[in-house]
């Protein structure tokens, strides 16, 4: 709704108009594709291998989950600088719950299946509560979000330190580690099943939207355009699954798995990793957040408040409570990211999530979220996170020196915003 297209009566021009695609999003996808192709050429085809694509996706998840929440924060003209620290505190809480509180305090045996869920729920509660507290300070006490979360950046980073005495806590629970990527994938069959369901759901959503428009006699896209769009989306989903399934589990690892079961691995046996659970989690978060943004009153109020806070207040929106909800949601997502980040490392470390606040904000902004408020999309922020991660790991593969990597990422951030400003001016009021 933020990027509503031209009026219903306007003449259809290019193919993009007919498909009603967001040209800004297309530009970002285009830039991402070019980026990948360039890295692929420079690395002699090592960038676009199933293995690297698999790694890229699992590296992106943590920042991308938080970026979806940051979209809401920035859309309402706030900022959250404490997400990295909040992630560390949530991670510390979950690590302590599963290695100290439950086994030593309550006598639950290590490896007990109840440990992971309890730890995760504890982390989610802590994250949501801290977020809500931040939101209360911003909304009800009118302290600028920049200040509240700048303070939070220091406070929560060091609360995490205090909770763990600065120690690295690990190894984490086996079930907990399922959220980490290579330690938790769905395997080929289930990946295909999930992919098929997702593709069917996406196509169904497109056609349900068309029927709904038709029932109110609104103009709809030509049939071929809907069909093409459906085919493109279904193809993209299934293609992604195919790539992840093509990444083979290393032989040595398979052998260990069979040995653990007391079996002998058949000769020539292979298995693909398939969809990582963490990526599935990100997709779920993305779908839910997109529905919240577009289809719920909460989402409506978030964008209305971002567009004109006074208008929202005068229209009866409780903007103070709204601020609490948005920051609580941000805190919840930080905790979710903490699950992914800690389990990917297989341990909690004292510096987990350091500088993540900047990556998350950068991802949201590269993804088209306007700091002036009122504009931003969930899919844009995720794409922004993916672009940043691709840049970083692509440069690492090429062998660019570490300082230059960060210099390039910084320049890209500023350039992306500049291009966005120019684009919005050219496109007129948007």
Partner 1 sequence: MTTPIDRTGTPLVEMRDISIAFGGVKAVDRVSIDLYPGEVVGLLGHNGAGKSTLIKCLSGAYKQDSGDILINGEKVTINNPRDARAYNIETIYQTLALADNLDAASNLFLGRELVTPLGFVDEARMEAETRKIMGRLNPNFRKFAAPVKALSGGQRQSVAIARAVYFNARILIMDEPTAALGPQETRMVAELIQELKRQGLGIFLIEHDIHAVMNLCDRASVMKNGQLVGTVDVKDVTDDDILGMIILGKKPAKAA
Tokens at 219, concatenated: 């103009």
Q: Which strand (E) or helix (H) includes residue 94?
A: helix 83-96
Selected from 34, 154, 291, 415, the binder of partner 1 by CB under 8 A is 291
Q: Dihedral, CA atoms, 132, 137, 141, 142, nearest 10 degrees?
A: -110
Closest to 321 measured CA to CA, from 367, 386, 329, 69: 329
Nearer to partner 1, 51 or 300 (CB): 300
Kindly identify the residues of this chain, within the stretch 357-376, that bind partner 1 according to CB under 8 A. 374-375
How many residues belong to the chain?
Answer: 430
Sketch the per residue contact string, 318 through 357, with partner 1: x for CB under 8 A, - otherwise: x---------------------------------------
CB of 138 to partner 1, least distance (A): 19
| Residues touching partner 1, count (CB under 8 A) | 41
Kindly identify the residues of this chain, within the stretch 212-231, that bind partner 1 according to CB under 8 A. 212-213, 215-216, 218
Nearer to partner 1, 142 or 215 (CB): 215
Partner residues linked to 272 by β-bridges: 248
Closest to 337 measured CA to CA, from 1, 90, 154: 90
308 binds partner 1 (CB under 8 A): yes
Tokens at 157, concatenated: 């980073």
- Any idea which residue has 């992840």 for tokens? 244
Selected from 317, 364, 366, 391, the binder of partner 1 by CB under 8 A is 317
Nearer to partner 1, 10 or 223 (CB): 10
Evaluate whether 285 touches 336 at the Cβ level (below 8 Å): yes
Residue 339 contacts by C-beta under 8 Å, 6 or more apart in sequence?
94, 120, 123, 176, 179
34 binds partner 1 (CB under 8 A): no
Binding piece for partner 1, criterion CB under 8 A, among 4-12, 84-92, 247-255, 278-286: 4-12
Selected from 46, 51, 424, 430, the binder of partner 1 by CB under 8 A is 430
Whole-angstrom distance, CA of residue 27 vs CA of residue 114:
46
Nearer to partner 1, 11 or 268 (CB): 11
Binding piece for partner 1, criterion CB under 8 A, among 98-106, 155-163, 269-277, 309-317: 309-317
Binding piece for partner 1, criterion CB under 8 A, among 11-19, 121-129, 308-316, 328-336: 308-316
1 binds partner 1 (CB under 8 A): yes
Evaluate whether 346 touches 168 at the Cβ level (below 8 Å): no
Evaluate whether 48 touches 40 at the Cβ level (below 8 Å): yes
CB of 284 to partner 1, least distance (A): 18
Evaluate whether 300 touches 39 at the Cβ level (below 8 Å): no
Nearer to partner 1, 10 or 402 (CB): 10
Closest to 365 measured CA to CA, from 429, 292, 306, 414: 414
Evaluate whether 381 touches 363 at the Cβ level (below 8 Å): yes
Q: How many Cβ atoms from other residues are within 10 Å of residue 8's Cβ?
A: 7
5 binds partner 1 (CB under 8 A): yes
CB of 6 to partner 1, least distance (A): 7
Nearer to partner 1, 205 or 411 (CB): 205
- Any idea which residue has 């902004």 for tokens? 365
Residues that bind partner 1 (CB under 8 A): 1-2, 4-9, 212-213, 215-216, 218, 291, 294-297, 299-301, 303-308, 310-318, 374-375, 428-430
């Amino acid at each position: 709704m933020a990027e509503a297209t031209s009026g219903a009566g306007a003449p259809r021009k290019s193919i993009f108009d007919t498909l009603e695609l967001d040209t800004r999003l297309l530009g970002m996808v285009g830039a991402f594709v070019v980026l990948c192709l360039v890295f692929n050429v420079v690395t002699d085809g090592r960038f676009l291998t199933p293995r690297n694509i698999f790694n890229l996706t699992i590296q992106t998840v943590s920042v991308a989950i938080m970026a979806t929440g940051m979209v809401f924060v920035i859309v309402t003209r706030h900022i959250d600088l404490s997400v990295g620290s909040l992630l560390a505190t949530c991670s510390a809480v979950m690590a302590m719950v599963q290695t100290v509180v439950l086994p030593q305090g309550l006598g639950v045996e290590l490896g007990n299946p109840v440990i992971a869920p309890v730890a995760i729920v504890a982390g989610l509660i802590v994250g949501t509560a801290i977020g809500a507290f931040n939101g209360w300070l911003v909304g009800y006490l009118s302290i600028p979000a920049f200040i509240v979360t700048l303070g939070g950046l220091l406070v929560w980073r060091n609360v995490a330190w205090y909770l763990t005495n600065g120690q690295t806590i690990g190894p984490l629970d086996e079930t907990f580690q399922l959220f980490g990527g290579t330690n938790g994938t769905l395997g080929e069959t289930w990946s295909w099943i999930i992919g098929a369901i997702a593709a069917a759901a996406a196509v169904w959503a497109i056609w349900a939207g068309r029927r709904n428009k038709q029932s109110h006699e609104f103009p709809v896209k030509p049939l071929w355009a809907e069909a093409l769009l459906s085919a493109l989306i279904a193809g993209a989903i299934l293609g992604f699954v195919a790539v992840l399934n093509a990444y083979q589990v290393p032989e040595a690892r398979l052998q260990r798995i069979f040995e653990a079961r007391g079996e002998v691995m058949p000769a020539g046996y292979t298995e693909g990793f398939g969809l990582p659970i963490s990526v599935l989690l990100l997709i779920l978060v993305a779908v839910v957040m997109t529905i919240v943004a577009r289809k719920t009153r909460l989402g409506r109020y978030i964008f209305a408040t971002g567009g004109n806070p006074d208008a929202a207040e005068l229209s009866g929106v409780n903007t103070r409570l709204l601020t609490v909800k948005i920051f609580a949601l941000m805190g919840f997502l930080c905790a979710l990211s903490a699950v992914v980040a800690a389990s990917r490392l297989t341990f909690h470390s004292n510096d987990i999530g350091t500088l993540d606040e900047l990556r998350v904000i950068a991802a949201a902004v590269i993804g088209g979220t306007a700091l002036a408020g009122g504009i931003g999309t969930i899919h844009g922020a995720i794409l922004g996170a993916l672009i940043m991660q691709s840049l970083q790991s692509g440069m690492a593969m090429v062998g660019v020196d570490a300082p230059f990597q960060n210099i390039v990422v910084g320049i890209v951030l500023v350039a992306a915003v500049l291009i966005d400003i120019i684009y919005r001016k050219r496109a007129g009021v948007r």
